[in-house]
Amino acid sequence: MENSKNISVLAREDCCGCRTCWDVCPVNCISFKEDKEGFFYPSVDESICISCSKCQRTCPEINPSFYEKADMASAAYANSEEARKAGSSGGVFGLLAQEVLSAGGHVYGAAFDDNLKLVHRCATNVDELVPLMKSKYLQSNTSGSFVEVLKDVRSGRITLFAGTPCQCNAIRNAVGTKNDNLITVEVVCHGVPSQNLFDKTIAWIESKYSCRVRSFSFRSKYKNALHPQAFSYECLKNGKLKTVNGLHYQNPFYFGFQKYITLRPSCYRCKWARPERSADITLGDFWGIEKYNPSLDAKTGISQVIVNTEKGKKFFVTLEKKGLIWHEDFPIEVAIENNGCLKSPTRLKPERELLFKALESESFDEVVNRHLKSKRQWIFDLYYGMPGFLRRIVRKLMDKRMKYE
């Protein structure tokens, strides 16, 4: 029977999987169970529940909160080429995180563990920060991290928490909005696939190429990368470590993510896909910046920075005063126009249901060929085989009708 005092009141399709309820429960009556799609949902042991409602109060889906819409958005990048390459966009997150670390603070973010499971972990120095940097396009396991953030913040330690908007809203609910020790940094997010689908893809690669994948990087900035959505992975084969580079359409998981057919159900009705934001600072890619400043190219890494609070402004201005970043300000409408997830959630496509049904009964090879492989791959191969000047001409001729970028 549903208990109106605990998280069981939340409709399954609305659960974002942030796991805050699991972390804050004082009697450990909440566990998370994996469904057939590979996503995790809360399960309450009603015999233990004391109806304290703490899980409800911290749940971002039940209690979403937003700051007023910002007036401006900044296009920014790190002045250091090394710092810029270390990030997926312009390298701003790494600089913000280093400011916190230099003040004796802690930084929480998503990183792959040794088994390529994405988990939230704490960085206390620059070396520990490196795995937290760059985009990871799947849902992280935050279990335990909210408790650690609470301990740090309440002890007076400055703490940066980076994550998806729903995760940032969750930690704000847990900590409270009046605590100056917590700074939240959210990504502009169009949704998260499951760890399970990523695991299946890695297993498929290992079986197909008789290797062991040791690491995986989305948004790889390897030399001569032809697209901002490039990837790299390291694999061990015949005792030798090899690096494999590719573009998004050449990897089943990445391709499905770019088609938006692999996301968690709640992502298609996301409360945070709107101009009003839930974190101190919002980071993303400043797509389309070339229209407003022809000297810039988003493919080289330009961060879109939206500062939503005075606390966030203080940190961002610090980077400017120290000469660590270049930035140019634009009306917020420019950012919204060029990033759909600042306006509305990702649209649910009928193919999503077909994909997950196929995953239940078909081999992964069959699923890849039917749903996770481009039907016009030869066009992509031809396009990316062209010299750069020809690709630029093609892009202008197609006038956005073909989504190469």
Contacts of 80 (CB under 8 A, 6+ apart): 91, 324
Per-residue pLDDT of the chain (405 residues; tens, 9 = 90+): 456 889 999 999 999 999 999 999 999 999 999 999 999 999 999 999 999 999 999 999 999 999 999 999 999 999 998 899 888 889 999 999 999 999 999 999 999 999 999 999 999 999 999 999 999 999 999 999 999 999 999 999 999 999 999 999 999 999 987 789 999 999 999 999 999 999 999 999 999 999 999 999 998 877 666 567 789 999 999 999 999 999 888 999 999 999 999 999 999 999 999 999 999 999 999 988 888 888 887 667 899 999 999 999 999 999 999 999 999 999 999 999 989 999 999 999 999 999 999 999 999 999 999 999 988 887 888 877 777 778 778 777 765 554 433
Which residues lie closer than 8 Å to 244 by C-beta, 6 or more apart?
Answer: 232, 233, 234, 235
In the 8-state DSSP scheme, what is residue 340?
Answer: G
Domains of the chain: 7-58 (3.30.70), 72-192+262-342 (no CATH), 195-261+345-374 (no CATH)
pLDDT at 67: 96
CA distance linking residue 168 with residue 271, whole number of Å: 13
Residue 127's CB is within 10 A of a number of other CB atoms, namely: 8
Q: What is the DSSP string of 69-101?
A: PPSEEEEEEESSHHHHHHSSSSSHHHHHHHHHH
| Cβ–Cβ < 8 Å for 170, 149 | no
Residue 297's pLDDT is what? 72
Tell me the β-bridge partners of 240: 237
Count of alpha carbons within 13 Å of 320, Cβ hemisphere only? 14
Enumerate residues 6+ apart whose C-beta is below 8 A from 272: 64, 66, 164, 165, 166, 169, 186, 189, 278
DSSP state of 68: P
Determine the Cα–Cα distance for residues 216 and 148; give it in Å rounded to an integer.
Answer: 27
pTM value? 0.93
Contacts of 14 (CB under 8 A, 6+ apart): 61, 266, 269
